[in-house]
Structure 1
Amino acid sequence: MIRVGILGASGLAGGELIRLVLQHPDLELTFLGGSSSAGRRPAELHPGLRLDLGLTIETLPDSLADRCDVVFLATPAPVSAELAAELADQVPCVIDLSGAFRIRTPDLHDRWYPKVRRAEGLADRFVYGVPELIGDQLAGAALISLPGCFATAITIGLAPLVLSLGLNLRTVVVDGKTGSSGGGLELRTANLHPLRNGAIAPYSPAGHRHGAEVKDFLDRSKPGGVESLSMSAYGVSHVRGLMASSYVFTDDEVDARSLQRAYLRFYKEHPFVRVRRHNETLIPVPDPQAVLGSNYCDVTALHDEEGGRIVVLAALDNMVKGAAGQALQALNIRFGLPVETGLTMQPVMPA
């Protein structure tokens, strides 16, 4: 059994990690870490978890290596940066769900994460990316940084254009909509039910750090590239789920048939990416409600000939494929397990 520790176990992502680790046949939960929640049982903090795990939330001990083979950091980015520096050479594998190490370029990192101070050289030791795109780098990796929820959807949506068709994307404009769980449990007036319910709130209309994260990753990828990527993000009244709509402008020739074939071919061997036809179901897809509770990302690429653009739609559950599920997917690859192990749950619909 692979021994698992979770730091930040009292948060939403921490609770989702606990849920998924418990149903994984090759994992044993051996440590739950937190500061303000130390001494409390997981069932007190996560009402859906009624099992007696024999664990309480603890503060960080002197050494986790004696108790854990892998540690998940479900902590805020500034905290993850500190914890990673402490654990990097102590625990065999550290998987960070925060934004602390996602952006490799120092100046770009400082712009979008000005409060996150990283130990010198530590960011270069992290393997970053969506597991479908960097699986070979995850095998045996000691430090893994997972993409943000929006970044996962956007990158999955754009990767076939850049990495398979080799297109030069002159301009990409991303419209992102996410449920309230994307903001975590921190109390904000704007997230109170009387204000959030039924709202479409433009909380980041003129740029979002997940967009910067995607461009930073694709700029280091070949053969194509992205000249300009901008993003606007909106909060909607759902709890789970997000949709990333990418409007792509390129001077390269492309048509609807070549798009569909490229996406099907690119994700043929990746079970968690479902290439959909927009009109194949009772409701138009991708739609976040068609993936809730699962580790799937649904993606569709449409050719808007009249508008001279490619429309890429990607939907996922931000708590699973956008966070905890993707973390277990990376763990499976890291430890040589079948990628679907513990992640075969189907979507819950209606939810």
Structure 2
Amino acid sequence: MTRVGVIGASGLAGGELVRIIDQHPCLDLAFLGGSRNVGKPLVAVHPGLRTLPNTTIEAVSAADVRRRCDVVLLATPAGVSAELASALSGRGATVIDLSGAFRLRSEAVHDRWYPGVGRDPKLAARFTYGVPELISDELASADLISLPGCYATAITLALAPLVFGLKLAQSTVLVDGKSGSSGGGLPLRRAGLHPYRNGAITPYAPVGHRHAAEVQGFFAERAPDVLVSLMMSAYGVAHVRGLLASCYVFGNWPMDSRTLSRAYLRYYKPHHFVRVRDHRETMIPMPDPQAVLGSNFCDVTAMHDAEGGGRIVALAALDNLVKGAAGQAVQAVNHRFGYVPELGLTMQPVVPA
């Protein structure tokens, strides 16, 4: 058994981590850490987790966490993760961070998107970043892992076959992202209250998003010969879970939708959690976040728009709390400790949700 600690257990991603770890046959939930709810039973903050009635949230002591855990999952704000990773690293336990503290390599770009989040640049350089499907070989020996944000996961998976497979050079990509309210976490904001959120389509990041900077940096590092210029607008919608990333890749590409579909199917054939969908295969157009909620799947598709100047439209849908956070964290744990990547993550989507 691998002993797992979850810090930030009171939050939405923390609750999902506990839910998934509890059903994993090879993971033992050894520590639950927090700050605001120290001493409270887990069920008091996550009413659905009643199978762990005697589990309480504890104060975080780095020495205690290292003693009790083989791997520590940080579901904490970026500033907190930066401090905890420094205290926990290099002392036996693997650290997997779900925040944005270590996603961006460049210190200048990090400061642009995470102002006030100080970090040790040498420590940041040691983190392995990326979606598990794309860096699985590196995860087996990684002691410091930074997972992409939910949008970054969807965008990267939508574009990876074009960048790494077809190597479409000098691409200009415009991303239209729409996500549910759980993507903003639990901090109370007036705009997040039901009377304002219900039925809304809110352009909360119309001229840029930090997850786009992650994708740009990842592709620049991993495929320096394929230039990708990426711009993004993000909107909040009335759903609680789920997001859709619509990626418009501009250029007069000499291909058709059938060629694209074959390229995507070939690229993702070894990867259980990425499902290449036909836009017309079900009673609702695919991909759609509704068809992945509660699961670790990401549904993708790509189409060639001959009438639109030859652009490519690549779509990706996922549950932001599972594949965009807790599910892919457990997926990284599986790779790191030699388990089958799908272990403990085979739950089917809940439709309708």
Cα displacement string for residues 169-228 of structure 1 (whole angstroms, at most 9, x for unaligned residues): 431000000000000000000000000000000000010000111001011122752442
CA distance in 1, matches of 2:28, 2:119: 30
CA distance in 1, matches of 2:255, 2:37: 54
**Within 5 A, what are the aligned runs for 1:146-161?**
146-161=147-162
Corresponding residue of 1:237? 238
**Within 5 A, what are the aligned runs for 1:146-295?**
146-222=147-223, 225-295=226-296
Cα displacement string for residues 245-298 of structure 1 (whole angstroms, at most 9, x for unaligned residues): 000013553322221111001000000000000000111010000000000000
Cα displacement string for residues 73-92 of structure 1 (whole angstroms, at most 9, x for unaligned residues): 00000110010010012242
SS in 2 for 1:285: coil
Corresponding residue of 1:346? 348
CA distance in 2, matches of 1:17, 1:227: 33
SS in 1 for 2:68: coil
RMSD over aligned Cα atoms: 1.1
Please identify, of 265-274 and 105-114, the stretch whose mean Cα deviation from structure 2 is larger. 105-114
Corresponding residue of 1:129? 130
Corresponding residue of 2:318? 316
Cα displacement string for residues 111-153 of structure 1 (whole angstroms, at most 9, x for unaligned residues): 1111211113011110000000000010121000000000000
4+ aligned runs moved over 6 Å, structure 1: none
What is the aligned-residue identity percentage?
66
Give the number of aligned pairs: 351
**Could you tell me the TM-score, scaled by structure 2's length?**
0.97
Q: Which amino acid aligns with 1:306?
A: E
CA distance in 2, matches of 1:177, 1:303: 22
Please identify, of 241-250 and 61-70, the stretch whose mean Cα deviation from structure 2 is larger. 61-70
Q: Is the 8 A contact 1:202 1:232 kept in 2?
A: yes
Counterpart check, 1:74 vs 2:55: no
CA distance in 1, matches of 2:53, 2:71: 18
SS in 2 for 1:313: strand
Q: Which amino acid aligns with 2:301?
A: T
CA distance in 2, matches of 1:138, 1:72: 15
Counterpart check, 1:83 vs 2:84: yes
Q: Which amino acid aligns with 1:346?
A: Q
Structure 1 runs not aligned, ≥5 long = none
CA distance in 2, matches of 1:53, 1:314: 37
SS in 2 for 1:171: strand
Q: Which amino acid aligns with 1:57?
A: I
CA distance in 2, matches of 1:203, 1:261: 36
**Could you tell me the TM-score, scaled by structure 1's length?**
0.98
Q: State the 1:239 CA deviation.
A: 0.2
Q: Is the 8 A contact 1:63 1:90 kept in 2?
A: no
Q: State the 1:105 CA deviation.
A: 1.4
Q: State the 1:44 CA deviation.
A: 0.2
Q: State the 1:53 CA deviation.
A: 4.9
CA distance in 2, matches of 1:55, 1:244: 37
SS in 2 for 1:333: helix
Q: Is the 8 A contact 2:178 2:243 kept in 1?
A: yes
Counterpart check, 1:93 vs 2:122: no
SS in 2 for 1:121: helix
Q: Which amino acid aligns with 1:122?
A: L
Corresponding residue of 1:59? 59
Distance 1:288 1:211, change over 3 A: same
Q: Which amino acid aligns with 1:250?
A: G
Q: Which amino acid aligns with 2:52?
A: D
Q: Of the candidates 311, 331, 334, which is equivalent to residue 333 of structure 2?
A: 331
Please identify, of 99-108 and 51-60, the stretch whose mean Cα deviation from structure 2 is larger. 51-60
Q: Which amino acid aligns with 1:15?
A: G
Cα displacement string for residues 307-341 of structure 1 (whole angstroms, at most 9, x for unaligned residues): 12100010000000000000000100000100000
CA distance in 1, matches of 2:131, 2:77: 20
SS in 2 for 1:301: strand
Corresponding residue of 1:45? 45
Q: Is the 8 A contact 2:4 2:29 kept in 1?
A: yes
Q: Is the 8 A contact 1:168 1:250 kept in 2?
A: no
Q: State the 1:66 CA deviation.
A: 1.6
CA distance in 2, matches of 1:12, 1:277: 32
Q: Is the 8 A contact 1:3 1:27 kept in 2?
A: yes
Corresponding residue of 1:28? 28
Counterpart check, 1:119 vs 2:110: no
Please identify, of 88-97 and 269-278, the stretch whose mean Cα deviation from structure 2 is larger. 88-97
SS in 2 for 1:340: coil
**Within 5 A, what are the aligned runs for 1:134-149?**
134-149=135-150
Cα displacement string for residues 17-50 of structure 1 (whole angstroms, at most 9, x for unaligned residues): 0000000000000100011110011100001111
Q: Is the 8 A contact 2:102 2:146 kept in 1?
A: yes
